[in-house]
Amino acid sequence: MHVENLTLAYGGDAPVVSGLTLEVPAGQLTAVVGPNGSGKSTLLRGMSRLLTPQSGQVLLDGKDIHKLPARELARKLGVLPQGPVTPEGITAAELVSRGRHPHRGLFGRLTAEDDAAIDEALAAVELTELRERPVDQLSGGQRQRVWIAMVLAQGTPHLLLDEPTTYLDLAHAVDVMNVVHAAAHGSGRTVVVVLHDLTLAAQYADHLVVMGEGRIAAEGRPVDVLTAELLEDVFGLQATVVDVGGAPVVVPDRRLVG
Amino acid sequence: MLSVAFAVLAIVIALVSLSVGTTKLPLADVIEVLLGGGRHGTRLVVLELRLPRVATGLLVGIAFAVSGALLQTLSRNPLASPDIVGVNSGASAGAVAVIVLAGSGGGNISGAAAKVGIPLAAVLGGLIATLIVGALSIQRGVVDAGRVVLIGVGIAAAANSLVAWLLVIGDVNDAGRAAAWLAGSLNARAWSDAIPVLFAVVLLLPVAMMFNRDLSALVLGDDVASSLGVRVARIRLALLIVATVLAAMATAGAGPIAFVALVAPQIAQRLTRMERPPLLTTAMLGALFVVLADLVARNGLQWLQVGPYELPVGIITAACGAPYLLHLIGRQQKGR
């Protein structure tokens, strides 16, 4: 996946992302981080056709995603938007089966291939036992994993996830990130994930993209990118970066009064 | 499976409805007539007097119910049915305009104005209402489920005052006829009432069914649906038109029969435990609801020994539907 000179804006407003170029490493996990309003979620929308760019293009296997037929794109690129709304009463297996939409015709039941993809996706997020449970009765972390299973069942070689760990406590966030990591390294997908938590991003990402004010402020291996200077520059955060087993951990400096 | 059960029940009620009335006919005679036999007098009663009414009832039931299922799914709001969000009111305004303005003054309009004019004006009125509600409910390119209902109720009120004004300026006989029609009545329906609705159902129900799977993706939200390859804007517009035309044609055929479009999809959804109203089950339940309500409306007062009076079917559907509406509103508020 390649992003070329992409400029994104909502309506007639000032661009949120301007002239951004990014080469997404194939078969790896890329995490996009940045302060609030830095344009990281907007970038993901632009990379997935949920937002039409003002200029520039996004190439998938060398082809502009805006020139591909909708169904063909949906077989190549899976997208999980931020905070998807779960319809009341839908079961986990039902929700995951919706991921097969781009592979199915107008009528007819799920094929054996569809069933296999659904089973595999539920197994990947470790929710096989809860497959007949209504999704709205699951915990926040389980619910998020069902949604990830939905995009996994879509069977696309490329995957974009927008803040899949938001509102989850650390244990559930780690569960979700394990699944996301496996989606790249277990089955060779190219995965791009927007994250809030710097330490979590640095723990899992092969490639870290730091955004600031609609541009890429830095990118590369987490150990190389995540430095105290960068945090000060981009986030306005005074912090110490500690190396724990080869992955950087961000420890904010306290400013205690009294 | 449930859709088959409802279809069978609807047919049974329809047969009963064909047999009862001023002249009571044994069910066997009714079936004989439907199969092509029977005496001349019986054939006249069944085929010319009762069947058009029953057929219109079945068809408008399907049309209203499917329209409601589509609108509720598209707006993700169980309250968004054509009778609540102004489609039926818009269609009524169109139809009443034709009845009153093109009326002979003698209470019967005939010829082209009645046969083509009423359905056409109803569709036009319905589409205008849908257009206004749709345009005003869109915020930042997304249809806001809550706004649809609020604006729809407003548009319905506006269309209803237009209707009231038309009734005031119209000839007394025309206005009386229009008022009876507005309650939602199957009384004295002829084949000319049933056939436009038949066309609408035969053409548009398959169109809706074609988009069935896209609707399953659409309930997950516009973003998810579009990343699953659904062309959201195009399908939304197409189904909005389908839903509007169905409701408007049904309104033209039998008046704005209340609550069928609201209740049938919701009950079908509960019974099938789906996350949206299932189209076919909803359609069959709608047909069953209307023929059953009409059977009661036509004979209820006689059964109760009150006298030989008929009620408009819309009174019965409203009596069943209104409590359900209150229940739905209560549930929605509890959910928030």
Inspect the interface and report whether the beta carbons of A101 and B230 lie closer than 8 Å: yes
Average pLDDT over residues A63-88: 92
A182 within a domain of the structure (yes/no): yes
Has residue B109 got a pLDDT over 70?
A: no
Q: What is the pLDDT of residues B219-265, one digit of tens each?
A: 998 899 999 999 988 898 899 899 999 999 999 888 889 899 999 99
A258 within a domain of the structure (yes/no): no
Inspect the interface and report whether the beta carbons of B223 and A81 lie closer than 8 Å: yes
- SS3 of A226, please? coil
- Give the amino acid at B9: L
Q: What is the crossing angle of helices B2-19 and B51-75, to 10°?
A: 150
Has residue A172 got a pLDDT over 60?
A: yes
Tally of structural domains, chain B: 1
- For the entire predicted model, the pTM comes to 0.88
A94 within a domain of the structure (yes/no): no
- Residues B251, B252, B258: CA angle, nearest 5 degrees: 20
Q: What sections of chain B are H helices per DSSP?
A: 2-19, 27-34, 40-43, 51-75, 87-101, 112, 118-137, 145-169, 172-182, 191-210, 212-218, 222-227, 232-254, 260-272, 279-303, 313-335
Distance to chain A for B221, nearest Cα, Å? 7
- A20: CATH: 3.40.50.300
- SS3 of A214, please? coil
For chain B, list residues whose CB is within 8 angstroms of any CB belonging to chain A. 76, 140, 210, 213, 216-217, 219-221, 223-224, 226-231, 273-276
- Residues A100, B4, B296: CA angle, nearest 5 degrees: 130
Q: Which of B85, B87, B60 is nearest to B264 (CA)?
A: B60
Inspect the interface and report whether the beta carbons of A70 and B216 lie closer than 8 Å: no
Rg (CA), chain B: 20
pLDDT of residue B333: 66
- Give the amino acid at B177: R
pLDDT of residue B114: 62
Chain A neighbors of B233, CB-CB under 8 A? none
Tally of structural domains, chain A: 1
Starting at the earlier edge strand, list the strands of the sheet with A55-60. Answer: A17-23, A2-8, A55-60, A63-64
Distance to chain B for A220, nearest Cα, Å? 28
A103 within a domain of the structure (yes/no): no
Inspect the interface and report whether the beta carbons of B275 and A99 lie closer than 8 Å: no
pLDDT of residue B332: 67
Burial category of B322 from C-beta neighbours within 10 Å (exposed 0-12, middle 13-18, buried 19 and up): middle
A141 within a domain of the structure (yes/no): no
Inspect the interface and report whether the beta carbons of B229 and A48 lie closer than 8 Å: no
Residue among A84, A95, A104 whose CB faces B213 most closely: A104
pLDDT band of residue A209 (cuts 50, 70, 90) is very high
On average, the pLDDT of chain A sits at 91
pLDDT of residue B336: 46
What residues have CB less than 8 Å from B185, skipping those under 6 apart?
B254, B255, B312, B313, B314
- B189: CATH: 1.10.3470.10
Has residue A253 got a pLDDT over 80?
A: yes
Chain A: residue whose CA lies nearest to B140: A11
Distance to chain A for B76, nearest Cα, Å? 9
Distance to chain B for A88, nearest Cα, Å? 6
pLDDT of residue B107: 42
- SS3 of B56, please? helix
A137 within a domain of the structure (yes/no): no
Give the structural domain span for A58.
Answer: 2-84+157-252
Inspect the interface and report whether the beta carbons of B229 and A74 lie closer than 8 Å: yes
Give the structural domain span for B166.
Answer: 2-335
Chain A neighbors of B273, CB-CB under 8 A? 89
**C-beta of residue B82 within 8 angstroms of C-beta of residue B243:** yes
Q: What is the pLDDT of residues B274-332, one digit of tens each?
A: 889 999 999 999 999 999 999 999 888 888 878 778 888 888 999 988 888 888 778 76
Inspect the interface and report whether the beta carbons of B223 and A84 lie closer than 8 Å: yes
